[in-house]
Amino acid sequence: MSDNEEKKEIKPQKGDDGSLYFELDDKKRVSVRKFKGKIYVDIREFYEKDGEMLPGKKGISLNLQNWEQFRNLIDNIDSCIVDI
């Protein structure tokens, strides 16, 4: 199986608020959500309360302009990780 095919198998989960999300670990999620007609990519820590996962304070919402900029920087960020 190629890398490409493997990637396609990752399906998002559906959040209670209608968002689509992926887990980065057992607490952190990347969610795509619509708010007042605009789409945001939200990277956030969640915490458990009464068996439910709730969004915590630690996190940030990126608008689509931020997201586009972020995507373009991925390789540069990787270079920093090597250089620092």
Q: Which residues bind a copy of itself (CB under 8 A)?
A: 7, 10, 12, 19-20, 22, 24-25, 28, 30, 32-34, 39, 41, 43-45, 57-60, 62, 64-67, 69-78, 80-81, 83-84
Please, which residue, 28 or 53, has the CB nearer to a copy of itself? 28
CA distance readout (Å), 24 to 28, 37, 38, 65: 5, 26, 23, 22
Please, which residue, 48 or 78, has the CB nearer to a copy of itself? 78
CA angle 37, 60, 33 (to 5 degrees): 30
